[in-house]
Every structure is written in structure tokens, then in C-alpha cells.
Amino acid sequence: MKYKNQLAFEIPSRSVNEALARSVVACFAAQLDPTMDELGDIKTAVSEAVTNCIVHAYPDTIGKIFVRCKILPDNVLDIVVKDKGRGIEDVAQARMPMYTTGGDERSGMGFTIMESFMHELKVTSKPEKGTTVHMKRKILKRGGKT
């Protein structure tokens, strides 16, 4: 698909980088002139995806998290968050609200929030190979701008 702009970056799976990833994607999304609400939704979804990599993909090591954003035609923000970590045995089960393998420090709501806050969410994974989270959000055009 033709894209108007893109950004790709790679970060180690350190929790301090959760805020960094949110900020970087928010900065990239700014060119679409999103509302505060839309920006909040995007930052939240990115935060959930990156946190999943840190907590679940690489529980005992520091691995690489790859993030790629694209601006697609019709004001669509396309975000991929990918890791080469532990992988998910049963993606459908993982996506169920409140389901977590992360102990009682986690709420199990990550995927649910990504689904609620983005317009499209696709999760593919293979045990021991890694997980790819692909999400899209259309940013509504506001008066005056083309």
C-alpha cells in the first residue's frame, strides 16, 4: 500500500522506553493534526503493545522491540509493534479481557484496550519466534485543512 510518510525505530525492551515509544509515535502522528483525544488513544495503544513486549515477549532478558508507523491514504495511521520474543501459544485466548500470564501485577486488559482505542487490530504470533501487533487508526479531518 502506498504510504505518505513513515518512521521506523528499534528500542531495547526496558520499561523506561515505554514513555519514549509513546512520545515518538505521538510526534509522528502530529502531522495528521489529531485531537487530544485521538492522540491519547494512540499513545495508550502504543503503550500497551510495547509493555506487552517488555513483560511477556522478553520476561527474563532484554530484547529488541521494533516499531514502524506509516501514514496511509485517507488519514490513516498504521502502527506495527514487533518482537522476536517468546510468542503466544493461543492468540485468541490472550486477547480475552482480563486474561494474563503476567501474574497479579498485570490486569490482562492490554489487547482489549488496543482493540477499543484503535480502529483495527491484528495480532500474529508463533511460539519462540515472536509476535507482531498491527493496528490502524483513522484520524478525522478537521475543518480547513486538506
- How many residues belong to the chain? 146
Phi first, then psi, for residue 39 (nearest 5°) are -65, -40
Q: Which is nearer to another protein, 1 or 36 (CB)?
A: 36
* Binding to another protein, residues 99-128 (CB under 8 A): 104-107, 109-110, 112-113, 116-117
Residues 8-37 that bind another protein (CB under 8 A): 15-16, 18-19, 22, 36-37
CB of 18 to another protein, least distance (A): 5
CA distances from 37 to 11, 26, 65 (A): 26, 12, 26
- Write out the binding residues for another protein, residues 57-96 only, by CB under 8 A: none
- Counting residues that bind another protein (by CB under 8 A) gives 27
Name which of 106, 87, 88, 90 is nearest 98 in CA terms.
106
Residue 143 DSSP class: T
What is the separation, in whole angstroms, between the first and last Cα of the chain? 21
Q: Which residues bind another protein (CB under 8 A)?
A: 15-16, 18-19, 22, 36-37, 40-41, 43-44, 47-48, 51, 54-55, 97, 104-107, 109-110, 112-113, 116-117
